[in-house]
Structure 1
Amino acid sequence: MSVNGNRNTVLYESITGDSGGNETTHLLSNGSTPTRGRGASFAFSVFNLMNAIMGSGILGLSYAMACTGIVGFIILLILVSSLATYSIHLLLKLCDKTGINSYEDLGGRALRNPGKVLVGVTILIQNVGAMASYLFILKSELPAAIRSFISSDSTGNAWYDNGRLLLILITLCVVLPLSILPKIGFLGYTSSFAFFFMLYFAVVVVVKKWSIPCPLPHNVTSLSGTFQVSNSSDSECTPKLFVISSESAYAIPTMAFSFLCHTTVLPIYCELDRPSKAKMQNVVTVSISLSFLLYLISALFGYLTFYAHVNSELLLSYDVYISGDIMVMTVRLFVLLAVLLTVPLIHFPARKAVIMLLSGQRPFSWLTHIIATLTILGVVLILAVFVPDIRNVFGVVGSTTSSCLLFVFPGIFYLRISSEPLRSPDSIGAVLLMVFGIIMGLISFSIIVITWVQSS
């Protein structure tokens, strides 16, 4: 992007072809909206970016802490969040330098047309996979979450027990209206709700730390409310500072994917009110810092509740020991709603990639906009409704696309586009970022394939 003065004028000319620097023309290079108008506020931009960062991955961080220890987890979380922030810094610096405000166009600038196509396809695969996985989670978990609030004497043939029907209804009534909005800034309202849902999740995890005894009960009889305490010693209630095991390899991919928001950073930047690199960098810093805080609190207190017995999905651990707890039932519903509200946000860059790949730099068209929206949502809905288990398939693909978008592409693009010498701090950082991304992608891919084969 750009900052002020002449560079701001150059940016508008390069994006819009308007030598007069007409600020009513929208900043997005693919013409995603007809007019620029007033941009999104700082707060809404933070909410949108946080919503892109935080998803169902927060449920697995307590398990990641159990696999690495408290200190090991904190070190890795700081490392991954810092690298994610730095990779976004490189993207914003390239936008400021070149006037390009699109991840796909940065790929085109660095690697010509094949690079543009590669980035667009990568974004499309990653985001379609994420949307399909989120909708698959909703199809599987939402009926049970709703049923937990209904009296036990109700029959099992209610409409809300049909996960496919429920998914189709919420897609048509919630996801489609939000996805068809022309500007990502409008989603700041729903993203604010998603943030408070995740905040409530963290609060519940902290409160429930004192509701479950340690050592953990062995045989739980939830109907009578009685527990048979196991013979485990109090040593199980001692937190581990460092843990190194075969399970520790799962921690870094879990944390890295928990900070993936790079496909939405530039669209949010484009719609920011009076955009500048410094202002967007502040949005990124605040968003990642708040996400880091919520991640750390929920992971720490979830781990201190169950220790080595924590489930890979945290909420399932509560079901074993305090089944029917109203706060846990509520937080499960809120997490699912937060996941639901994330789908329109990650749909935006997927649609943007499709339109850019097929239409290039053509002016905004409502017809193209609507057709692309309906097509992408249709494909995602079909995958979520009819494919029995898509999470493993997209897990394998996502392990590579996520690593590329998070670490590899920003490093390569900076080295190809920037004119700085290779010994400059940012160039060295770009090399390290690229190497880290390749290693993490290989580790993630290997772990998921091995787990997939073993489960089969």
Structure 2
Amino acid sequence: MSPAAATGAHAPLLPPDGKPGKQASVSGAVFNVSTSIIGAGIMSIPATLKVIGVIPAFVLILIIAWLAEISVEILLRFTHSGDSTTYAGVMRESFGRVGSVAVQICVLITNLGCLIVYLIIIGDVLSGNKPEGSVHLGVLQERFGYHWWNSRVVALLFIVVFVMLPLVLYRRLESLRFTSAIAVLLAVVFVGICSAMAISALLEGKTKTPKLLPDLDSHASFFDLFTAVPVIVTAFTFHFNVHPIGSELGKPSDMIKATRISMILCAAIYFTVGLFGYLLFGDSIMADILVNFDQSSGSAIGSLLNDIVRLSYAFHLMLVFPLLNFSLRANIDELLFSKKPSLEKDTTRFLYITLALLAFSYLAAIMIPDIWYFFQFLGSTTAVCLAFIFPGAIVLRDVHGISTAGDRIIALIMIILAVVTSTIAISTNIYSLLGNKS
């Protein structure tokens, strides 16, 4: 099948944009992969260390990063053994229409949920929020007071129109390599300031000894350990962008190399921010560490550092947004318009889907004050499916006859780990949610 004739499951998620001979660089792929990984999940890592302890968290981050790399290698191997060039297409080859729709729905729920959460976080940073009656001022209110132009509705609208819209109109992920590099740099700035503040507090004797191992003094504490797995799985889930990024590279080994480098980089960033964030705030660490940084500081320098931390991550999320939107748009198009010509050939359809997704995300972020419980369930359901359950199922199905005994063992481990921890995490979250409402 020629690329020009490819449609539906066989259509590349990444359009050539008229330059089929132009190949992406490994460095650009590293930045795009790393930016796809480091999203809002980093905010919950310090709280995870508080729950399970420093040593188990370090081990868990390494194990999940390693399994995520293996699952990516599985997807690429089965992709190049078949005819499809998308995640949904690979699942279609193994499980038919049901498999491809399952992937598309999981990408829809995961990515759209993340995009809404990103806009909510950006709105919180700029314009503040009022969770459960307590007031958290945004940076704009702290610096300029309350005005119509720095309200949540107007501030987010400005960001969506002048920052998000130009970026989501790109048709090649390689075009986002520079913004992705900036996004990684902003994440490093965030980690660097957290580390510096924690080290300063440590030297002044203001930190408490971190918990190296979890407290298992009750059944609730034991089951809370399983809620940490989906959080970290979500933090390493970028599988929806494996095919778009990989299709621009010259050879499959380049994507594997880019993934390996990104996993090492992201694991280091996650553990560093987790450790120093935990040291800095101790047991008062919130599920979203940015909430800790909006507390008033006793000095002008401390207040400035708090604002820099919050703004750096808000800008980081602005640059992550187009990467998640890219695969979301492609999967929605593949789900709804599988019989139509490929998306890059239909500018009208491309614009309609792009603008509809952007408008829906904005309206949802404005109308829904808090969807953090929904975000917690993503890691226990759709993200786990995309990262581990679907790749493991592809190996066990083995329609191309390329799975080894080792592949099948790892696939079983991934599926069992995902199902058991997700079931316990979902049950624990439901129990916690019902307990808070009673």
Q: Is TM more than 0.5 here?
A: yes
Q: Secondary structure at the match of 2:35?
A: helix
Aligned Cα RMSD in Å?
A: 2.6
- Which of 260, 268, 276 is the matching residue for 2:237? 260
Q: Percent identity?
A: 25
Q: Is residue 28–residue 267 contact of structure 1 (8 Å, CA) maintained in 2?
A: no
Distance 1:126 1:318 in 2: 27
8 Å CA contact 2:126–2:140 kept in 1: the answer is no
Show the counterpart of 2:314.
336
Q: What is the match of residue 299 of structure 1?
A: 274
SS in 1 for 2:247: helix
Which letter does structure 2 place at the counterpart of 1:89?
E
* Equivalent residues in 2 for 1:166-177, closer than 5 Å: 166-177=155-166
- Residues 216 and 386 of structure 1, relative CA distance in 2, 3 Å threshold: farther
Q: Which residue of 1 aligns with 2:41?
A: 57
Partner of 2:434: 453
> Would you say the 8 A contact 2:115–2:321 is kept in 1?
yes
Give 1:241's aligned residue. 212
Q: State the distance in 2 between where 1:318 and 1:138 align.
A: 14
Deviation at 1:358, TM superposition (A): 2.2
Alignment of 1:244-323 (within 5 A): 244-245=215-216, 246=221, 247-272=224-249, 274=250, 276-320=251-295, 322=297
Separation of aligned partners in 1, 2:2 and 2:408? 26
The answer on whether the counterparts of 2:389 and 2:418 sit within 8 Å (CA) in structure 1 is: yes
Q: 1:138 to 1:147 in 2, by over 3 A?
A: closer
Q: 1:179 to 1:444 in 2, by over 3 A?
A: farther
Is the contact made by 1:209 and 1:301 (CA closer than 8 Å) also made in structure 2?
A: yes
Q: How far is the alpha carbon of 1:305 from its aligned partner?
A: 2.7
Structure 2 portions without partners, runs of 5+: 129-135
What TM-score comes out, normalization by structure 2 length? 0.87
Q: 2:64 aligns with which of 67, 80, 101?
A: 80
C-alpha change, 1:101 and 1:423, in structure 2 (3 Å) is closer
**Structure 1 counterpart of 2:228, one-letter code:** A
SS in 2 for 1:378: helix
Q: 2-side partners of 1:42 and 1:366: how far apart?
A: 29
Provide the residue aligned with 1:182 in structure 2: 171
Aligned to 2:146: 156
Matches within 5 A, 1:14-25: 15-16=3-4
> Closer, same or farther in 2 for the Cα pair 1:397/1:293, shift >3 Å?
closer
Shift of 1:355: 1.2
Structure 1 residues 397, 315: CA separation in 2 closer, same or farther (over 3 Å shift)?
Answer: closer
For 2:192, which of 198, 203, 211 is the aligned residue? 203
Specify the code of the residue in structure 2 equivalent to 1:197. Answer: L
Distance change (3 Å), C-alpha of 1:384 and 1:148: closer
2:101 & 2:166 partners in 1: Cα distance? 29
Structure 1: tracts of 5 or more residues without a match? 1-12, 19-26, 218-235
Q: Decide whether the 8 Å contact of 1:52 with 1:261 is kept in 2.
A: yes
**Contact 2:293/2:306 (8 A) holds in 1:** yes
Question: By how many angstroms is 1:50 displaced?
Answer: 0.6
Does 2:4 align with 1:29? no
The one-character-per-residue Cα deviations of 1:424-446 (angstroms, maximum 9, x if unpaired) are: 11122112212222223223322
Matched-pair contact (CA < 8 Å) for 2:393–2:411: yes
Question: What do residues 169-221 of structure 1 show as CA deviations (whole Å, max 9, x unaligned)?
Answer: 1111111111111111111111111100010111111111233368987xxxx
Structure 2: distance between partners of 1:401 and 1:174: 28
CA offsets per residue over residues 372-407 of structure 1, 9 Å max, x none?
111222222221111233332344355311111011
TM-score, normalization by structure 1: 0.84
Distance 1:278 1:71, change over 3 A: same
Q: 1:220 matched to which residue of 2?
A: none
Which of the pair has more CA radius of gyration? 1
Of 353, 368, 373, 2:331 maps to 353
SS in 2 for 1:237: coil
How far apart are 1:357 and its partner, in Å?
1.6
